[in-house]
Amino acid sequence: MGDNHEKTLKKWICINECRRGYKKLDILIEEDKILEIAEEINTDEEIFDMTDKLIMPGFINTHSHLAMSLFRGIGDDLLLQDWLFNEMFPREDLLNDELTYYGSLVSILEMLAKGVTTVVDMYLL
């Protein structure tokens, strides 16, 4: 491998817009930057076979209450009004900066593990 640390991901699946099919493409990456996407890239650098793999942008969570991971499973069997007013609001009143931090950290780690790269959290708005 050369000094510029290039790598090529070969034959990954690219879904075309409007679900009209897909192509198998190559991606040339140097450091953390995509240099080229094409049907065939010839290189002597490190190659990863991505046959039958899908590369796509990260997911975006546009409405989240990160710290509520601390309350997961509480009142799952209740109607919405009972759950919200009798279980969640009283517990949210007990949240302080430290609990909010750790509850948010749990949620962020879970989302990163599942491909979520962007989050809008309602607690900090």
Taking the CA of residue 16 as centre, how many other CA atoms within 13 Å lie in the half-sphere pointing to its CB? 5
pLDDT of 1: 43
The answer to whether residue 1 is domain-embedded is: no
**Cα(75)–Cα(30) distance, integer angstroms:** 49
Q: Are residues 75 and 102 in the same domain?
A: yes
Q: Are residues 23 and 73 in the same domain?
A: no
Structure token pair of residue 85 = 């007013």
Name the 3-class secondary structure at 110. helix
Structure token pair of residue 55 = 């590369």
Residue with more model confidence, 61 or 58: 61
Nearest residue to 49 (alpha-carbon basis) of 15, 2, 8: 8
The answer to whether residue 11 is domain-embedded is: yes
> Which DSSP state fits 43?
-
At 73, the pLDDT band (50, 70, 90 cuts) reads: very high
Give this prediction's pTM: 0.68
| Structural domain of 26 | 6-49
Query: Would you say 122 and 63 are in contact if contact means Cβ atoms under 8 Å apart?
Result: yes
